[in-house]
Amino acid sequence: MIDEQTINIRAIQHYMYCPRRFALLEINNDWAENAFVVKANLLHERVHSGEHDFKSKEKTAKSSIAVYNDDYNIFGITDCIEFIPNKNGIFIDGMEGAFKVRIVEYKPKAPKDQKYHESDSIQLFAQKLCADYIWKTDSEAFIYYADIKRRVKIPFDDKEISDYYDNMIKDFLNEMRNILVTNSIPPRRKSQKCSGCSLHDYCFSKVKTYSVKEKIKALAKTEVE
């Protein structure tokens, strides 16, 4: 069943950037790092280390909270969720009082010509779907761009915008599941920009692509023989 394929929220952004990249990562288990990947990883390591977790009168901030939504069959780990005391808010297990929920996703670089990248906000929308599903609430969502040290609120409270993202994520999830179920790696899109992609050498390899999956299969075969 196609809907039974559980999708990691992180993969949605890979798919949006390039369906072929998503398939190489998920089906072939190919992986490579470049400067962009390392920079993003370092930022997220700092965020997820827990050193920024804190509790004050204004809010409690927690990193690395696992979230999921069974209706969309997606899951992920959030960078940071802030719980803001609010008498009209919701109750959270293990915390005293009622809270509004605010999701904050950290990204290294802000776009130059717009407020936020759509590929960043869709990831946040997926996290919001999960947080709202778990806590039966309507969370706020922000992206923190590290290079400009500023938060940008994503206006998911605007119904037109949230419907737009909802349709987009449903389409993406269908297409991603189709790739996984058929085990097929799509060709490069005509308009695809590849200069920032860490998988460039795998994708355009002149020699046979190194595949972790194939390597394990070959090892298993040798052991049997």
Q: Is 203 in the site for ligand SF4 (CB under 6 A)?
A: yes
Number of Cβ atoms within 10 Å of the Cβ of 142: 18
Name the residue with tokens 């595949």.
Answer: 211
- CB of residue 53 to ligand SF4, shortest distance in Å: 35
Rg (CA), the chain: 19
Q: Is 32 in the site for ligand SF4 (CB under 6 A)?
A: no
Q: Is 14 in the site for ligand SF4 (CB under 6 A)?
A: no
Q: Please state, in angstroms and rounded to a whole number, the distance separating the CA atoms of residues 3 and 40.
A: 30
Looking at 88-158, list the stretches that DSSP marks H as alpha helix, in order from N- to C-terminal side: 118-135
Both structure tokens of 174: 């269908």
Q: Is 134 in the site for ligand SF4 (CB under 6 A)?
A: no
Considering only 9, 11, 12, 24, the residue that binds ligand SF4 (CB under 6 A) is: 24
What is the biggest distance separating any 2 CA atoms in the chain, rounded to whole angstroms? 67
| x-marked contacts with ligand SF4 along 169-198 as a string, rule CB under 6 A | -------------------x---x-x--x-
Q: Is 67 in the site for ligand SF4 (CB under 6 A)?
A: no
Residues that bind ligand SF4 (CB under 6 A): 18, 20-21, 24, 188, 192, 194, 197, 199-200, 203
